[in-house]
Structure 1
Amino acid sequence: MTEFLETYKLHIIYGAIVISIALVLHILTNALHKWLLKKEQEKFPGEKVTPVNIIRRIFNTLWIVLMLIALSFIFVGRDKDAIIIANFKLVLYLGFLAVFTIVAAASTNLWFKRSIIRKIQNRYDPTSYKFLRYVAVFAIYFAGILFGLMAFPSLRGVAQTALGGAGVVAIVIGVASQEALANLVGGVFIISFKPFRVGDLIKVTDTMVGTVTDITLRHTVIRNFENKMIVIPNSIINKEKLINYDLGELKCCERIEIGISYDSDIDLAKKIMREECENHPLIFDNRSTLDKKNDHPIVKTAVIAINDFSITVRAWAWGKNFNDCFELKIAVLESIKKRFDKEGIEIPFPYRTIVMKEKKVSESKHKKI
């Protein structure tokens, strides 16, 4: 045993030093992690600590891998030292590159988040910042991956070409027919031409109505009135004909239509509909100065269709915004129905007249003969 210790004394000392350094670095990393978590919670309460946790795992893994590479000097010949040193440098480079990339992406993301909050607090449009946040974070990770590829001689040419610009063009051409690029271009068009912004109330179809909450590189997110998130790819929503209730003037007109029977008094039905709309507190007076001077009614009513079994009467009621119009419509429909029942205005059901014809007795007898 003594002879073994004397023979491998330097190797044992070297191994102990390497392991000790790795343990110290592990302890320092965990201590630094706790300190960063505390500072981050104090400065940015409520923010996710995922990047800090990932960085701790990367560093702890890096110390273990570097320790194993350093210990391999004991078991290989000196002719392999150059290879071990090269691998040591490669792992060290990739580890710190990963940490730098995550820190840069997390810092950029946090800066955009705080800028978006300030924009909202000052009542400015945060749409561009929300979209650019995704672009900036994607660009940082993309650059980190390319620099990582440059560490490998076999992939260095690909990475340098991509960083030089020709590779980017090749990538764009390669995925030009893919839906991913169409969604990206659609998102850029939405941000550039602004058919809608974050916070706008839009209607894509009758089942897709809600407030825009986010515009990413791939899709647009809408929160509907059931508090459900509707995710629509940018390439689709960019081609849709949609209604933006917050673009330009907020006031809008709600068309309230009810069918009455042919026996009902049309003038009385129009009067009831007009009065119920005008008496509602959310009605908006959209009359011009000349209309007011000529004593035109706030709510216009008219017969718009004569159907098989009913006459359709419409009232044009205005509200300050879409929400007021919606509340106005559902309340007025109920009050109009109650007034119709009270005043004897019938809302008809579909009628069908069936005529039964009996065959003549003479014809039946003739057929028998």
Structure 2
Amino acid sequence: MDTQKWIDKGYELIIDFGPKVIGAIVIWIIGSWIIKLILKGLKKAMNKANYDESLKKFLVNLTNWILKIILFIVVLGTMGIETTSFAAVIAAAGLAIGLALQGSLGNFAGGVLIMIFKPFKIGDLIEAQGELGVVKEIEIFTTKLNTPTNKEVIIPNGALSNGNIVNYSTEGILRVDLTFGVSYDADIKQTKEVLMQVLTSNSKVLKDPAPTVNVSELADSSVNFAVRPWCNVADYWDVYFETHENVKIELDKAGIEIPYPHQVEIHKQG
């Protein structure tokens, strides 16, 4: 009697839950196949858009987990299990984690935006958040710069994506802005010729756009010239320092004085 009773109970359970279990298995198999198709399409789209490799992996994994959680909840619902409280627990946990990691999530969102819109790339010379340096690494939460003094600067992506970014490498060339002052006794035409000769004799100064030399200011003790050579980004500091050195040498050769402060002492006799 007891054995028959358990057999009957088993039949009832199979009749009641069998179709649900089979339906859940079918939904899981079909859902997993659809998820694979979605992830495959996502990978193709990101490859076409040339997304950063680390961003591609992260977005694929994140999408995979979200879709699988949704599929798991659907399967539980198919088997007749109440999923309302389960979904509420997931939502509450997500909210708590979001509040706890608010700053980190902001940096994460900033990293995603940087990798999608690409205001700069590795190797670019940029200025941001008061720092100037070459982009060494772009991560999900931070960006690393290498400064001209060989210091590593780590900037949170949240602040970086919300602030001003100056990218010196985008156009490929830069203008070097320099100012040199000479004595009022100096001949303006001769001075311009000397300064232009310094620029044109430097192989790192570009011919196009052409360098310019113009009087920019009649100052208190000097006539100031705006000297504007163009160069490739990688040659910026070489042109900057070489021009300063060569201008001093050539002005001295031409007998053109570079003014410097003079101090006059007056002695009063008692």
TM superposition score category, shorter chain reference: 0.5 to 0.7
Residue 307 (structure 1) aligns with: 219
C-alpha distance in structure 2 between counterparts of 1:263 and 1:326, whole Å? 31
1:205-240 per-residue CA deviation (whole Å, 9 max, x = no partner) reads 77x332212222321101223433211111222233
Counterpart selection for 1:211 from 97, 112, 134 = 134
C-alpha distance in structure 2 between counterparts of 1:305 and 1:204, whole Å? 31
Residue 5 (structure 2) aligns with: none
Q: 339-348 or 130-139: which moved more?
A: 130-139
**Percentage of identical aligned residues:** 27
Counterpart selection for 1:188 from 112, 123, 138 = 112
Equivalent residue runs for 1:6-85 within 5 Å: none
Q: Does 1:331 align with 2:242?
A: yes
Counterpart selection for 1:268 from 177, 190, 193 = 190
Q: Does 1:237 align with 2:163?
A: no
1:213–1:223 contact (8 Å) kept in structure 2: yes
Runs of 4+ with deviation above 6 angstroms: 124-127, 135-141, 354-359
C-alpha distance in structure 2 between counterparts of 1:304 and 1:205, whole Å? 31
Q: Does 1:280 align with 2:191?
A: no
Q: 251-260 or 330-339: which moved more?
A: 251-260
Letter of the 1:341 partner, please give it: D
* Deviation of 1:194 (Å): 1.6
Letter of the 1:254 partner, please give it: V
C-alpha distance in structure 1 between counterparts of 2:221 and 2:129, whole Å? 30
Residues 242/354 of structure 1: CA separation in 2 closer, same or farther (3 Å cut): farther
* Deviation of 1:348 (Å): 1.6
Letter of the 1:283 partner, please give it: V
Q: Secondary structure at the match of 2:208?
A: coil
1:242-273 per-residue CA deviation (whole Å, 9 max, x = no partner) reads 321222x2122112221222222222221111
* Deviation of 1:201 (Å): 2.1
**Residue segments in structure 1 that go unaligned for 5+ positions in a row:** 1-118, 142-156, 288-297, 360-369
Q: Which has the higher contact order (CA 8 A, sep 6+)?
A: 2
C-alpha distance in structure 2 between counterparts of 1:259 and 1:185, whole Å? 49
Residues 302/180 of structure 1: CA separation in 2 closer, same or farther (3 Å cut): same
C-alpha distance in structure 1 between counterparts of 2:129 and 2:263, whole Å? 34
Residue 200 (structure 1) aligns with: 124
Q: Secondary structure at the match of 2:229?
A: strand
1:257–1:313 contact (8 Å) kept in structure 2: yes
1:127–1:191 contact (8 Å) kept in structure 2: yes
Residue 29 (structure 2) aligns with: none
C-alpha distance in structure 2 between counterparts of 1:236 and 1:275, whole Å? 45
- Structure number with the higher strand fraction is 2
Residues 309/272 of structure 1: CA separation in 2 closer, same or farther (3 Å cut): same
* Deviation of 1:204 (Å): 2.7
Residue 258 (structure 1) aligns with: 180
Q: Does 1:347 align with 2:265?
A: no
Counterpart selection for 1:228 from 118, 140, 151 = 151
1:125–1:198 contact (8 Å) kept in structure 2: no
CA RMSD of aligned residues (A): 3.7
1:8-53 per-residue CA deviation (whole Å, 9 max, x = no partner) reads xxxxxxxxxxxxxxxxxxxxxxxxxxxxxxxxxxxxxxxxxxxxxx
* Deviation of 1:166 (Å): 5.0
Q: Secondary structure at the match of 2:204?
A: coil
Q: Secondary structure at the match of 1:238?
A: helix
Residues 160/316 of structure 1: CA separation in 2 closer, same or farther (3 Å cut): same
Residues 311/179 of structure 1: CA separation in 2 closer, same or farther (3 Å cut): farther
Equivalent residue runs for 1:12-161 within 5 Å: 128-133=52-57, 161=87
Counterpart selection for 2:229 from 317, 322, 328 = 317
1:127–1:198 contact (8 Å) kept in structure 2: no
Residues 137/252 of structure 1: CA separation in 2 closer, same or farther (3 Å cut): same
Residues 131/211 of structure 1: CA separation in 2 closer, same or farther (3 Å cut): farther
2:213–2:225 contact (8 Å) kept in structure 1: yes
**Residue segments in structure 2 that go unaligned for 5+ positions in a row:** 1-46, 66-82
Residues 163/269 of structure 1: CA separation in 2 closer, same or farther (3 Å cut): farther
- Structure number with the higher helix fraction is 1
C-alpha distance in structure 1 between counterparts of 2:184 and 2:152, whole Å? 45
Residues 164/266 of structure 1: CA separation in 2 closer, same or farther (3 Å cut): same
- Number of residue pairs matched? 210
Give the structure with higher Rg (CA). Answer: 1
Residues 191/260 of structure 1: CA separation in 2 closer, same or farther (3 Å cut): same
Letter of the 2:137 partner, please give it: D
* Deviation of 1:276 (Å): 0.8
